[in-house]
Structure 1
Amino acid sequence: MNRTIVYIVFVAAVLGLGLLIGYNNIPGEWYQSLAKPAFNPPNWVFAPVWSILYVMIGIVGARMFLDHRRTTAMRLWLAQMILNFLWSPLFFGMQDISSALIVIIALLIGVAGFVIASWRQDRISALLFLPYLAWVAFATVLNSAILLMN
């Protein structure tokens, strides 16, 4: 299997699905009406940050698929993708802040678990997930604050 094609497919799939989910779950009037903490970033920040993260997540997914397909790290990569793609429909689509918080906590655990599981077998993938881990940790705090304020 051509490695370059695998990378292209993974990055395109992750980025494409992420953008599709984001497009179908745009923050609307409901989100604008919520009380938010002072550290809430402006809305324009989220699309570029997630786009960069999705490219990195796709690269890591391709690396896992090509070289570590039957590992705990690959299973964690898949699990965190499912949780990642579930969060926006819960939070923005269903306007269910509590369920979204449960999902993002599970996502945070999954991403941290991936970093730990992949550290010895693929340090580059683990390192590529550190900005994602930081962003999900921040998003978890933000989700928690929004829940508490509303």
Structure 2
Amino acid sequence: MKFLKPFFVFLLLNFGALGIGSFFMAEGPQGDWYLQLDKAPWTPDGWVFGVAWTSIMICFSIYMVSLYLKRFTKKVRILFLIQFILNISWNFLFFNQKHIDLALVNITLLTFIVAVFLFTYLKDLKIKSIFILPYLIWLCIATSLNLYISIYN
């Protein structure tokens, strides 16, 4: 019971961020602008993004509950808020405003923040740190996709 209530709160926050981000991305990946971009050869099919983000946010919610129960300091709350804002704003910058280079800075910062979570709290969470790895790995892939688009468009 100690786990479930915060788990549902973090699920709500994390999926809420995805929902808000989707709301701000205009036509998104179905829009003519995105479809005409020169994309990286390793760009996954569209359905992969939905599956990936769903899995990532479930795992990240487990990670955040573990951190919440172990050490929910002001620093953790600030890092989470920064992560939340960067996650939402990438969609707006990239798809809505078409600021590819600014979106690259944004996703690079997001990747850095997620890495800070991993390495700062590794000693506290030990094996439970594995739950943030899908987020970090996906962000590395997504950053490479954004970088490719930034270079070739």
TM-score calculated relative to the size of structure 2: 0.87
Q: Which runs of 5+ in 1 are unaligned?
A: none
Q: Is 1:140 equivalent to 2:143 in the alignment?
A: yes
Q: Is 1:100 equivalent to 2:103 in the alignment?
A: yes
Aligned to 1:7: 7
| Counterpart Cα distance in 1 of 2:140 and 2:12 | 25
Aligned to 1:149: 152
Shift of 1:119: 0.4
Aligned partner of 1:113: which letter?
A: V
Q: Secondary structure at the match of 2:72?
A: coil
1:86-113 deviation line (CA, Å, top 9, x unaligned):
1111111111101100011111111111
Q: Is 1:16 equivalent to 2:19 in the alignment?
A: no
| Counterpart Cα distance in 2 of 1:114 and 1:71 | 13
Aligned to 1:128: 131
More displaced stretch, 111-120 vs 18-27:
18-27
More displaced stretch, 28-37 vs 55-64:
55-64
CA contact (8 A) 1:18 1:85 kept: yes
Shift of 1:59: 2.0
| Counterpart Cα distance in 2 of 1:52 and 1:19 | 15
CA contact (8 A) 1:68 1:74 kept: no
Number of residues of Structure 1 aligned to a counterpart in Structure 2: 150
Q: Secondary structure at the match of 2:124?
A: coil
Aligned partner of 2:60: which letter?
A: I
TM-score calculated relative to the size of structure 1: 0.89
CA contact (8 A) 2:86 2:106 kept: yes
1:37-63 deviation line (CA, Å, top 9, x unaligned):
211111121111111111112222222
Shift of 1:74: 4.6
Relative contact order (alpha carbons < 8 A, sep ≥ 6): 1 or 2 greater? 2
Percent identity over the alignment is: 31
1:100-134 deviation line (CA, Å, top 9, x unaligned):
00011111111111110010011244211112111
Structure 1: 4+ residue segments shifted above 3 A: 71-75
| Counterpart Cα distance in 2 of 1:111 and 1:105 | 10
Q: Which runs of 5+ in 2 are unaligned?
A: none
CA contact (8 A) 1:73 1:118 kept: no
More displaced stretch, 34-43 vs 72-81:
72-81
